[in-house]
Chains A and B, each alone.
Chain A
Amino acid sequence: MVREVFKKPTKWSIMKSLILKEIDELIFGSMGIVIFISVFIGGVVAIQTALNLTNPLIPKDLIGFATRQSVILEFAPTFTSIIMAGKVGSYITSSIGTMRVTEQIDALEVMGVNSLNYLVFPKIIAMLFYPFVIAISMYVGIFGGLIANSLGNYSTSSEFIQGIQLDFIPFHVTYSFIKSIVFAFIIATVPSFHGYYMKGGALDVGKASTTAFVWTSVVIIISNFVLTQLLLG
């Protein structure tokens, strides 16, 4: 399927508008939910870390440090991707699946259009902007931690910010962005596959969306493990 996606490209003027439409739908359309989740996840990480710091010898800046590490390494790229597998993945599967059952894909093929290129390529290109979403998620997640820390009075804001800056390894951000690019490709292609090759009627579109979410999540979790081993192990 992936090879077909890159074959026989659609006219650039059309492809450009399709890509812009998908960026709007898949990237900007997901910002709200990503920001909402990231703020609360960052906050919860900060609270849980603070509540487990019972030893007075452990410095309070550890709350900021733990929040930063958790958010940058795992919560922003992986947790957000699982959410995106549900939000974006089901949108992709259901939109392509509906086109399949209503013969719109056959109509494209009969016209001589490479339907895989027309439907899937813009989604893959749009998802290249996914690291931008993850960057926002990281920022907002740590900010959520800061807010929760201040509201709960677990440590001072300056201690938290000091913790954020403590032993910062820039490669961790790179690692996170590498993961997010791989996850973006998975989120664009696995649901597209389930939508494009589905058979049946309207009910099967729903089933295909569920299957696509499960498989996208499984592939993300496995590749998360493999990438972590390769890049940090």
Chain B
Amino acid sequence: MIDVENLNKSFGDTQVLKGITTSFEKGKTNLIIGQSGSGKTVFMKCLLGLIEPDEGTISYDGRMFSKLSGREKRDLRQDMGMVFQGSALFDSMTVEENVMFPMDMFTNQSRSEMEDRANLVLKRVNLIDAHKKYPAEISGGMQKRVAIARAIVMNPKYLFCDEPNSGLDPNTAILIDNLIQEITKEFDIITVINSHDMNSVMEIGEKIIFLKNGVKEWEGTNKEIFKTDNKAITDFVYSSELFKKVRQMYIEERN
């Protein structure tokens, strides 16, 4: 479990995160949602240890990040997998080399062992014929799948995804969402997704945290989001006519 306690972060005079307390459970897809500038990315970067919070603590299965030594932080980071918004694949490496990179860095496995493992995870994300291609030669959806393969190749305990659907067509976006959810269940990991894709919220949001101006405004599941009366979240989620209708239908169905 990841426990976040009273997290605060400011940049100059601007307080970006204001006393966020929450937790993320194992085997669940957790979504952080909110408008642009609400503090989602900063929150995720704090979770990843890329930004140091001014106040508050983050614990990973009881390991408090701020109390860990440099070596312990490194070890903890090897338990983390991250899928970046733009995939962040290394341009100079082939798809296979990208996936093998963390193993090459942190294990003493032979080349053939690494290749076998890379092939296995690439197969898992439904990428079979792209091994020798460079990131520039494959589509955005394929790049996202390579990024997921790279993130899970070391069997992480924690998987973080920053807007994994951005820039993808609706079909590919659903495919990526389903893939992340399947992997979460299959590997029994904690997945935290930063998103403002409402489809993802409805489909895979087993736990949703809604941030507004750096404050945790609402917390619940994708089922509860239909029932809530919290104005901030309903204004955000049901800003489109389509979702307003979906909600209306849900309420009518319930009644």
> Which of B73-81, B166-174, B193-201, B211-219 is the contact stretch?
B73-81
Interface check B242, CB cutoff 8 A: no
A60, chain B: closest CB distance, angstroms: 53
Q: Which single residue of chain B is at the shortest CB-CB distance from A11?
A: B105
Residues of the A chain whose Cβ atoms lie less than 8 Å from the Cβ of B249? none
Q: Which single residue of chain B is at the shortest CB-CB distance from A111?
A: B102
Answer whether A107 and B50 are a contact pair too, CB < 8 Å, given A14-B104, A112-B74, A112-B106. no
B147, chain A: closest CB distance, angstroms: 9
Answer whether A102 and B86 are a contact pair too, CB < 8 Å, given A110-B48, A111-B105. yes
Answer whether A103 and B105 are a contact pair too, CB < 8 Å, given A110-B50, A111-B78, A112-B77. no
Residues of the A chain whose Cβ atoms lie less than 8 Å from the Cβ of B104? 11, 14
Q: Which of A19-47 contact B (CB under 8 A)?
A: none
Determine if A106 and B78 form an interchain contact, defined as CB atoms under 8 angstroms apart: no
Interface check A16, CB cutoff 8 A: no
Determine if A10 and B88 form an interchain contact, defined as CB atoms under 8 angstroms apart: no
Interface check A125, CB cutoff 8 A: no
Q: Which single residue of chain B is at the shortest CB-CB distance from A113?
A: B105
Complex partner residue of B84 from A8, A106, A113, CB under 8 angstroms: A106
Determine if A104 and B88 form an interchain contact, defined as CB atoms under 8 angstroms apart: yes
Residues of the A chain whose Cβ atoms lie less than 8 Å from the Cβ of B49? 110
CA distance A106 to B84 in the complex (A): 9
Residues of the A chain whose Cβ atoms lie less than 8 Å from the Cβ of B50? 106, 109-110
Q: Which single residue of chain B is at the shortest CB-CB distance from A114?
A: B74
Residue of B75, B78, B88, B91 most packed against chain A (CB within 10 A): B88
Determine if A103 and B88 form an interchain contact, defined as CB atoms under 8 angstroms apart: yes
Residues of the A chain whose Cβ atoms lie less than 8 Å from the Cβ of B85? 103
Chain B 77-105, CB-CB to A under 8 Å as 1, else 0, gives 11010101110111100000000011011
Determine if B105 and A14 form an interchain contact, defined as CB atoms under 8 angstroms apart: yes
Determine if B88 and A102 form an interchain contact, defined as CB atoms under 8 angstroms apart: yes
A48, chain B: closest CB distance, angstroms: 44
Residues of the B chain whose Cβ atoms lie less than 8 Å from the Cβ of A102? 86, 88, 91
Residues of the A chain whose Cβ atoms lie less than 8 Å from the Cβ of B77? 110-112
Determine if A110 and B86 form an interchain contact, defined as CB atoms under 8 angstroms apart: no
Determine if A103 and B78 form an interchain contact, defined as CB atoms under 8 angstroms apart: no
B146, chain A: closest CB distance, angstroms: 12
Task: Give me the interface of B with A, judged by CB distance under 8 Å.
Answer: 48-50, 70, 73-75, 77-78, 80, 82, 84-86, 88-91, 101-102, 104-106, 160
Q: List 12 A-B contacts (CB under 8 A).
A: A8-B74, A14-B104, A103-B86, A107-B90, A109-B50, A110-B50, A110-B77, A110-B160, A111-B77, A111-B102, A111-B106, A112-B77
Inter-chain pairs besides A11-B105, A104-B91, 7 sampled, C-beta below 8 Å: A8-B70, A14-B104, A110-B48, A111-B77, A111-B101, A111-B105, A112-B75
